Structure 1
Amino acid sequence: MRLLPTVLAAITAASPLFAQCGGSFSSFVKGLEEEAISRGHDPATVNAFFDSARQDDKVLRADRAQGVFQKPFIEFSRRLISQDRINRGQSNAQKYDAIFNKIERDYGVSRGVLLAFWAFETDYGAFQGDFNTLNALVTLSHDCRRPELFRPQIFAALELYKHGDFDPRNTTGAWAGEIGMVQMLPEDILENGVDGDGDGHVMLKTSAPDALMSGGKMLSSLGWRPGEPWIQEVTLPANMDWSLTGLEESRTVQQWAQMGVLPRTGSLPNANMQASILLPQGHKGPAFIAYPNFRVYFEWNQSFTYVMTAAYFATRLEGAPVYDAGNPDQGLSGGQMKQLQTKLQARGHDVGAVDGILGANTRAAVRVEQARLGLPVDGWPTPALLGRL
């Protein structure tokens, strides 16, 4: 199950004539119905669609409990990647070989990429979530934390309902409204859904061909570059300038090679391709070179830890070895991370919410402070850095 809502949806503001969020839930739903009718939908269809909508407190609890992303890359990846998942991934690659061949031909997305998403999102379709999707979307739209992310999905689900591809009473999925084997939001299904099995419907819950083809098309629409790699493990020279690492920094593959960056296995791709060096747990931990396709992952999920793990697992499914974990410096606990974020805020850094999660803003602030204090600029916060601050 996806643990953060996607940013794929076009974030559109609802008309001020209708309830935006909060207030009476029944009045809020009534406002949604009025808005749907104002958009030209048949009133009887609208009434039937919203008739079963209920507020779901379990959705709100799930939205506020995403502690898994506090785990560092090595722990998180070891938790999600098992030999059993690799074996089943390879088995599914054979079972759906013709579908993967078509995806690679039509969209240029390598099979390992979709197999990794399929594994992490739903364990190859086994656990797709049991939250009523309409209730989840309406609940999150009524909640005033991030209504702009979820409100457009309600009207996309209404379109799917009219097509016969969504049941407001029985369609279930993740707490954030994603549906099916690769967990796509209704708007994404509407825009990128593909009838992979030729039955005239896009059913991502029950049809692996539909789900995989739709996922491939969505990645393509997000800018996936056909036939190009996404990430690769590398070894770095001892005299590496750590300040050059991180997603904010980019060089050509040739420039990195001239600095002494070497692939741990295989060879580096096109010398002119832009790439970044990533150190998910600092300069003493595993190291990867990330190519333009890696950035597309963040359109699927915004968590750096999830993205790194999904991208790496995709390479494992295609034959890459287990990464060299190295010997990273000790990281921070969730409580220590919150202390760090508070200290960084006090120094004028924008770290977003003080949530104990090492997100992009916190990493960027850590790099600035590491440079100021004469520490290796690798974006990995340690107790020593916390103490110096």
Structure 2
Amino acid sequence: MRLTAISQSNYTGFLLKRPFALLVPALLLSLAACSSTSQTGNNGSASSAGSSGGPAGWAAENRTLSANKNTFVAQVSERHAIPRSHIEQLLATATVDDRVIRLMTPKGSGGRVTRAWQSYRSRFVEPIRLRKGTAFWNANRQTLNRAEQTYGVPAAIVAAIIGVETVYGEQTGSFRVLDTLYTLGFNHPEPNRPEKSQMFRNQLAALLDLDYRDKVDANSTTGSFAGAIGLPQFMPVSIEHYAVDGDNDGHIDLRNSTKDAIMSVANYLAKHGWRAGEPVFAPVTLPAGAASLVDGGLEPSMSWSQLQSRGASLRAGSSGGHWQNGKEIGVIDLRDEVRGSNEYRTATRNFFAITKYNRSYFYAASVADLAYGLASRQRSSGYQVTMPY
């Protein structure tokens, strides 16, 4: 699971890919992954039970937590109904990790980031991930099919996200998550950006809650230098709200259970607006001057009729879909400032659902392109799979 300072689930991916990503400047504290919505049943149950229909993810967890540690303990104890002694015992073992501070310290002058789409894409849509993603799909076909049937998210998209995030579990991170979140919550290297430390204190609160309820062992769990965990790199808030017991063993383990990871990614996207049966990109030919159609947002803002009135047309041989009804599409710009090029695509609501995992056009487009490559390989092997676009 990512953010902008921040929007979460997968803040780690945002950080790791930041040098080339198309970043959204607005600091929207709307993390996508937290603690108190209940989903249902064994195959669809989230790790945390709350009142159905209530706020989920960051909408539920983005609340003020004090930078004073004693006050923080009291607030977390009240919010999650955790004994203060339990919180104090865990925090007593937490240490400031200088490596995390170093990695999270902004580099350079803090000026504008150069956007280089082709360089970014080539890091993820490449032979190793295509090969390992094909092996992952072949080994987990039944679970990927079940995820698609349950949540409507194509197997290719789920496989691609896990590939982009951790190369199918090879790069899940070795930082102790308790230390990471403690460090960034109380010693963030950007003291002039208090919303960042606030976000990490909320993530730390979620980790403490998960530990108390025996869902995550805060003493031993490791992850990225931003605190993301397991194959899909979920932040603790995402684990609370969107993680799924995919193998029905009564425990959610995103590091060691591939089934849990697959079902959790699909559930996350479904809860963030994924529409079953719709492509990530609409089969549209855009007019000259497409740059004027780009608004840079993270929600679809145009209707098909509006886009047609500006000169767009359906590609020959293509069929329409739900994206043609209402404001369901948006034109995105994959800018490469190094090469002096722009690539414009017509994104559907499903593209924007992927940006809730990581608030970057580059990230979401790379996931879609890797998914297309993986699905194409499956089709060439005789399998009838859903193409992402």
User: Matched residues in 2 for 1:3 and 1:250: separation?
Assistant: 26
Change (3 A) 1:235 1:87: farther
Partner letter of residue 97 of structure 2? D
Q: Deviations over 1:294-327 (max 9, x none)?
A: 112222112232222223322222229xxxxxxx
Q: Residue in 2 aligned with 1:275?
A: 329
Q: How does 1:1-389 map to 2 (within 5 A)?
A: 2-4=13-15, 7-8=31-32, 9-10=58-59, 11-14=61-64, 20-21=66-67, 28-39=68-79, 40-65=81-106, 70-142=114-186, 143=188, 144=191, 145=193, 146-231=196-281, 235-237=285-287, 239-240=288-289, 242-247=291-296, 250-252=302-304, 255-256=307-308, 259-261=311-313, 263=315, 267-270=318-321, 272-273=324-325, 274-281=328-335, 285-319=342-376
Q: CA deviation at 1:161?
A: 0.9
Kept in 1, the 8 Å contact 2:279–2:350? The answer is yes
TM-score (norm 2): 0.70
User: Matched residues in 1 for 2:335 and 2:169: separation?
Assistant: 31
Kept in 2, the 8 Å contact 1:133–1:171? The answer is yes
User: Matched residues in 2 for 1:55 and 1:212: separation?
Assistant: 32
Partner SS for 1:288:
strand
User: Matched residues in 2 for 1:310 and 1:59: separation?
Assistant: 27
Change (3 A) 1:66 1:123: farther
The farther-off stretch of 157-166 and 3-12 is 3-12
Name which one, 1 or 2, has greater alpha-carbon Rg.
1
Q: Deviations over 1:110-167 (max 9, x none)?
A: 1121112101111111010111111111111113431221222222112211232322
Q: Deviations over 1:163-199 (max 9, x none)?
A: 3232222111011111110011111111112111122
Partner letter of residue 292 of structure 2? S
Q: CA deviation at 1:241?
A: 5.2
Partner letter of residue 32 of structure 1? F
Q: Deviations over 1:245-265 (max 9, x none)?
A: 45566231795499354559x
Q: Deviations over 1:58-101 (max 9, x none)?
A: 22222234799744111110122212211221221121111111
Change (3 A) 1:6 1:213: farther
TM-score (norm 1): 0.70
C-alpha RMSD of matched pairs (Å):
3.0
Change (3 A) 1:76 1:241: closer
Number of residue pairs the alignment of both structures matches: 308
Q: CA deviation at 1:203?
A: 0.5
User: Matched residues in 2 for 1:245 and 1:35: separation?
Assistant: 43
Partner letter of residue 223 of structure 1? G
User: Matched residues in 2 for 1:6 and 1:84: separation?
Assistant: 33
The farther-off stretch of 164-173 and 33-42 is 33-42
Partner letter of residue 291 of structure 1? T
User: Matched residues in 1 for 2:368 and 2:113: separation?
Assistant: 16
Kept in 2, the 8 Å contact 1:233–1:287? The answer is no
Partner SS for 2:331:
strand
Change (3 A) 1:286 1:263: farther
User: Matched residues in 1 for 2:221 and 2:277: separation?
Assistant: 35
Kept in 2, the 8 Å contact 1:69–1:305? The answer is no
Q: Deviations over 1:222-276 (max 9, x none)?
A: 1211221112576545x45542245566231795499354559x73531724323
In structure 1, list runs of 5 or more residues that go unmatched. Answer: 22-27, 321-389
Q: Residue in 2 aligned with 1:354?
A: none
